[in-house]
Every structure is written in structure tokens, then in C-alpha cells.
Copies of this chain bind each other. A is one copy, B any other.
Amino acid sequence: MSGSEKLEIADLTALNAIAAGSNKKNPRIVAAGIGGKLMGTKSLVTVTAEQLTEDLKHNNSLSQEQKNKIIQDVKDAKVANEVKKTEDATKLHISEQPWTLNNWYKHVNWLNFVLVIAIPSYGLFQAFQYPPCLKTLVLAFVLYAFSGLSITAGYHRGWAHKAYEMSTPVKWFFALFGAGAIQGSVKWWAHGHRVHHRYTDTNKDPYDARKGFMYSHLTWMLTIPNPKHRARADISDLIADPVVKFQHTHYMALLLLMAFIVPTVTAGLFWGDYWGGFIYGGILKTFVIQQATFCVNSLAHWIGKQPFDDRRTPRDHALTALVTFGEGYHNFHHEFPSDYRNALKWYQYDPTKVTIYVLSKLGLAHNLRTFSQNAIDQGRFQQQQKMLDKMRTNLQWGQQVSELPVWDREEFNTRAKKEGLILISGIIHNVKTFIKEHPGGQAVVRASLGKDASEAFNGAVYAHSNAAHNLLANMRVAVLRDSNPNNNTFAVQQQYLDDHAIYKKLS
């Protein structure tokens, strides 16, 4: 065998290194800097390509039992007392230990707790004391829309999925207002999101929807994760982006500026409402965007239809779209992640898509990517076919002709009248109990007993519906010897109708 005839198998470790972005000379640490640390997943991304490849060899998914256990652990603080039963519990990572009165505070990611629970709670409390003024509400709403769209059109479709190319001013806009949403830097966010897409519904999925609604919504970021569930995704394109780099480096300053200072100062300088600007334009606006975005991880993996693939958790639902600027067609999105659209129909709510489209018309966005209609329809077709196949196997279609006993004519003639047998398409059917039910009356069926009624059944008397053919198939009892049985009685009838031009297609 000469050299050119060798078949090279792709090197999995090398490919995993590329896919994880760890093939670079100085593998950057995703969670570095305040922007990355914010959501605290350093241990999760410290992983080599060898480890990633190795991980494949172990059971990487949860059994139903394990799943129940995790949900139980998370919910049920009573488990705490059982820790004493486990001798070497302390040797386990904190995420593998049950919650106890002694260790519960170690389970919690306190920085995130402050950012997504404590501050918003304080804001809500203040809102009750301090009713808003209209101008401040309008400001809060505008900032909400700007920051929300910065996450969906910028962080998500633009950076994480490269669904289109942003012009530089658009990048700055999304990077600034995105920082105001307090969801981490683009770099951290897009990395986590790529991991989510690559490892959806496995332990490596940061917001693993199998672990329950609350886990995928909030709990995942409020608790310390298990470093065994390490994973990485390639973000070399993001590292090369100066806007992403700048935002990551100065994230904490940008966060304070965009989330709190801008609304406070705007409302204060223009209409003297500093406090309202802080509470409504700052804290509560951020709170609403956070919860809305979290819904993409929870609600979008929880309620709705699965028109493209039902093997994983993502789902399409108008309600989710409504609260997430159009990110609710999530079954589509997981199947076609780099499509700039989430909703395809004009009547479905997807303002993020509209924003991107308008930006492109203004020359501020380019190369909007879509999957071909063919690929989309193929997905829809396959899922529907799968449901239909399931439906078919749950229905009775009558015995297979090949499994039927073979009778000779004598046997048929002897038994026909007594047992109520009719021959159609070479197959003997027992119509005894059906005679009284026959929608075309008893007389015609009785007159056909013991006879070959193929022609009569197929159009010479009445061209029966599909329903009649289905009923017929479920009455099969035997095949007549040398009679050329045909179990596709539908086709036989169609042939008969065509031959006699009884029905013609209308268009």
C-alpha cells in the first residue's frame, strides 16, 4: 500500500482541542477578569482536550434515577442530616455533598446571589415605597428594550452564533447596553452559550434543562457547579474582536455605568428624579431583563412544541417569544443556531430578527445567515414522520397477508355462509358482526357472502372510502389458494376506478 492510499482518521484529541479553543499557544482563561469571574465558573473551563476526549468514554448523561436524585437534593434540605452517614463526604467536591446546616453557605455563589436576588429584591422593596413618575418609566422601558435587544441581537445571535456581521457602531451599542443587562461580558456569555449548544441536555450543559425548571432558570448560577462537568468551546473569533476585548477588560466599570449611573443621572439631570432613575431605570430594568433572558434557558426548554426534533429539550412557544424579544422559537434555534431568525412566520413575534433586518437595510449589519428552506423543511418533515411512525405502530392494521392461513376454495365455500365470509382481493374476510353495522345496508353484504365481491367493493357497486378499506383489513381471516392476494386494497381500487374513469382528479 503506497502512502497515498492510506486513509487518515481525524485525530479526535486535536479536533477537540480546536473545538475547545485550547490549541492556542496561550490558552486564555475564559473566566479571567471581573467580567468572567462575575458568574464564577473558572473550575468548569479548566479542561484539556485530552480530558474532553476522555470524558466521552464515561457515562456522560444522567439516568432518570440520578436526575430525580439531583432534583431532590436541590429541593430538599432534609437530606442535609444524612451527610453523617457518608464517611468521606468531606473528600467530595462541595457540589457533590448534600446540603447541611454546616455547609450550605459553601454551596452558594454569593456574588451571583447579590446580583440576581439581593439587589433586585431591594429594588422591588423600594418600588413599593416610591411610586414611579411617567418619564422615568419611559426611560426604564427604553433602556430595557436597548439592553434586552443587546443581549438577544448582540450577545446571542451576533457574537455567540455569528448569525450576521455587526458594523462597529452596532457592536459598541450592543457591548455597552449589553453590559447594562448584568449578565456577564460578551466573552463569558457567548462561551457559556456555545457550550450549552454543544452539550445540550448533558452534564456539561451549564443550564442543563433536565435538572428541572428552577435549575435551568436560576439555580445553576446560584450554586457552585461540579468541576467534573468541565467543558469548553472555541471563542478565538471573539478574542480577536477588539470590542469584545475592551468590554471584557472594563466590564465592571461598564456595568456600573450602563446599569446604574446612566439611568440615575439621566432621570436626575433632566427631570430631577435621581432615586426613581436608580430604582426603576437601574435595578428593576435590570431585574426584568435578567429574568426574561433566563427564560430562554428555562421556559424555552420547558413549554411548547417540538416541530424539528423532540430528542432534546428545546421547544417553540409564543409565550416564551413574548418575554424574550423573540427567542421563544427555541426548537428551531437549536436546530439552526446560526440562522439570524428564530421565528419564520410573519405573524410570530421576533423583534430581534426585525432589528437585525432593519440594521442590515441601514447598512449596519451584513451577511445575514439563514439555513435553506430545504433544510428547514427536511427537519420538519423528519419530526412529523417520526410522530406518524409512532402513530402507525399504535394502530391495528389487520393481519399481514403472509401470516394468514391458506384455504382452498372448498373450505371457503363450506364455511362462508355459516361464518359470514366474503372474498375481496384474494383475501377472505369475516364480516359476520359487521353486517349489521354496514353503512351501506345489510342487504348488499348478505348478497355477497361466499362470493368474490372485489369489483362490487371497489367501485362496480360502490367505491369505498379509505375508512372502509381499513375496516376490511381488520376482518382478514385467510387467503384463498391461487387467488393472487393483494393486501394493498387501496391500490386495487384506485386501479379499478382509473380503468373505469369513475373518479377523476379535479386539478
Binding site for B on A (CB under 8 A): 2, 4-10, 12, 14-16, 18-19, 53, 56-57, 59-64, 67, 161-162, 198, 201-202, 210, 234, 236-237, 308-309, 311-313, 334-338, 369, 371, 374-379, 381-382, 384-385, 388, 391-392, 394-397, 408-410, 412-414, 423, 437, 439-441, 443-444, 447-448, 450-453, 455-456, 459-462, 465-467, 470-471, 474, 480, 483, 500-507
In addition to A15-B447, A201-B503, A334-B465, 17 A-B residue pairs with Cβ atoms within 8 Å of each other are A6-B409, A7-B412, A7-B480, A16-B460, A56-B459, A60-B500, A64-B507, A202-B502, A234-B441, A236-B443, A237-B441, A335-B465, A374-B396, A375-B467, A378-B466, A379-B466, A379-B470
Are A462 and B19 in touch, CB under 8 angstroms?
yes
Docked pose: A64 CA to B382 CA in angstroms: 35
- CB-based closest 8 A-B pairs: A338-B439, A10-B451, A378-B470, A10-B453, A61-B504, A59-B501, A5-B409, A8-B451
The reply to whether A466 and B382 form a contact with Cβ atoms under 8 Å apart is: yes
Best-buried of A378, A381, A437, A440 by chain B (most CB within 10 Å): A378
Complex Cα distance A410/B177, Å?
Answer: 55
Interface contact A4-B413, CB-CB below 8 Å = yes
In the complex, which residue of chain B has the Cβ closest to the Cβ of A490? B382
Q: Given A379-B470, A459-B56, A503–B202 Cβ distance below 8 Å?
A: yes
Residues in B with CB closer than 8 Å to A162 are 439
Instruction: Check if B16 sits within 8 Å of A461, measured CB to CB.
Output: yes
> Are B378 and A447 neighbours in the complex by a CB distance under 8 Å?
no
Contact among B4, B10, B483 for A414, CB-based, below 8 A: B4
A248 to B19 alpha-carbon distance, docked (Å): 84
On whether the beta carbons of B506 and A409 are closer than 8 Å, the reply is no
State the CA gap A451–B8 with chains docked (Å). Answer: 5
Give the complex CA separation of A507 and B336 in angstroms.
25
Whether B336 pairs with A467 at a CB distance below 8 angstroms is yes
Is there contact, CB below 8 Å, between B7 and A470? no
Set B4, B19, B53, B437: member contacting A440, Cβ < 8 A = B19
A448 touches B15 (CB 8 A): yes
Taking CB as reference atom, which chain B residue is nearest A383? B466
A61 and B502 form a contact (CB under 8 A) = yes
- Chain B residues whose C-beta falls within 8 Å of the C-beta of A64 in the assembled complex: 506-507
Contact yes or no, B7 A452, CB < 8 A? yes
How many whole Å from A354's CB to the nearest CB in chain B?
22
Residues of B near A15 (CB, < 8 A) are: 444, 447-448, 453, 456, 460-461
Which residues of chain B are within 8 angstroms of A506 by Cβ–Cβ distance? 64, 67, 201, 210, 313
Partner of A56, one of B409, B423, B502, B504: B502
A382 to B448, CA, bound (A): 28
- The docked-state distance in angstroms from the alpha carbon of A335 to that of B463 is 12
**Which B residues lie within 8 Å of A388 (CB)?**
381, 384-385, 388
Residues of B within 8 A of A56 (CB): 459-460, 500, 502
* Chain B residues with CB below 8 A from A382, complex form: 466, 470
Could you tell me if A408 and B5 are in contact, using CB atoms closer than 8 angstroms? yes
- Closest CB in chain B relative to A62 CB, distance in Å: 7
CA distance A234 to B445 in the complex (A): 13
Flag if B10 contacts A60 (CB, 8 Å).
no
- What are 23 contact pairs spanning A and B, CB under 8 A? A2-B410, A4-B410, A5-B413, A7-B483, A10-B451, A10-B455, A14-B447, A15-B444, A15-B448, A15-B456, A15-B461, A18-B447, A56-B460, A61-B501, A62-B504, A63-B504, A202-B503, A311-B503, A334-B465, A335-B465, A374-B396, A375-B467, A382-B470
Give Cα A394–Cα B377 distance, bound, in whole angstroms: 10
Contact (Cβ within 8 A) A460 B53: yes
Q: Which residue of B lies closest to A391 (CB)?
A: B381
Query: How distant is A437 from chain B, measured CB to nearest CB, in Å?
Result: 7
Chain B contacts for A450, CB-based, 8 A: 8
- Of B5, B62, B462, B471, the residue contacting A410 (CB under 8 A) is B5
Residues of B within 8 A of A18 (CB): 441, 443-444, 447
Q: Which of B6, B397, B452, B461 contacts A378 (CB 8 A)?
A: B397
Which B residues are in CB contact (< 8 Å) with A453? Answer: 10, 15
Contact B452 A10 (CB under 8 A): yes
Query: Roughly how many angstroms separate A336 CA and B8 CA in the complex, as a whole number?
Result: 61
In the bound complex, CA of A63 to CA of B441 (Å): 32
Residues of B within 8 A of A4 (CB): 409-410, 413-414
Closest B-chain residue to A339, C-beta based? B439
Give the docked Cα–Cα distance between A16 and B308 (Å): 50
- A335 engages B7 (CB within 8 Å): no
